[in-house]
């Protein structure tokens, strides 16, 4: 069963690209005492993720802050180097934190892993967005199939 509204976010360690290279970011530090809008994409550099999903959150960063969101975070089952390159490609600076879930451990822990092996992509994350307040899921929006509706920045903002 996947994570639900009201659940505590499980312990996990992500990787992010820092000024001096890869750095670990644990979920407790990420979520403790903060309201975080976390969105997940099936893959960096993939069409919908690059053309719509990430750009929407980047463009709406100020609107999220105005609604009480402290941090916007993007996660994907990609390695930290791919996430760092994607951030650079997308012009991401301090609008959001790019979190590599390289082994898919967070995706599995919350029950939102996706088997993309039929497309040569292996294990990935489903597309979703969630708002986490001090480590507890305030709301979660999981896409069905190949859709891109309920996890968009606009939809999440409307439901904050």
C-alpha triplet 20, 54, 158: angle, nearest 5°: 130
49 carries an active-site annotation = yes
As to burial, measured by CB atoms within 10 angstroms (0-12 exposed, 13-18 middle, 19+ buried), residue 150 is middle
DSSP designation for 11: P
Which tokens is 48 given?
């919908």
DSSP designation for 117: G
Catalytic residue among 15, 36, 49, 114: 49
- Tell me the catalytic residues: 49
């Amino acid at each position: 069963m996947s994570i639900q509204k009201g659940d505590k976010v499980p312990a996990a360690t992500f990787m992010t690209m820092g000024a001096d290279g890869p750095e670990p970011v644990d979920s407790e530090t990420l979520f403790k005492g903060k309201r975080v809008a976390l969105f997940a994409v099936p893959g960096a550099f993939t069409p919908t993720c690059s053309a719509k999903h990430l750009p929407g959150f980047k463009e709406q960063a100020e609107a999220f802050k105005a609604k009480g969101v402290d941090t916007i975070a993007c996660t994907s089952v990609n390695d930290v180097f791919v996430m760092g390159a994607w951030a650079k490609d997308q012009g991401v600076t301090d609008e959001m934190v790019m979190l590599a879930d390289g082994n898919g451990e967070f995706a599995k822990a919350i029950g939102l892993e996706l088997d993309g092996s039929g497309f040569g992509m292996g294990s990935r994350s489903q597309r979703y967005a969630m708002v986490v307040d001090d480590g507890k899921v305030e709301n979660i929006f999981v896409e069905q199939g190949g859709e891109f509706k309920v996890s968009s920045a606009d939809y999440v903002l409307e439901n904050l």
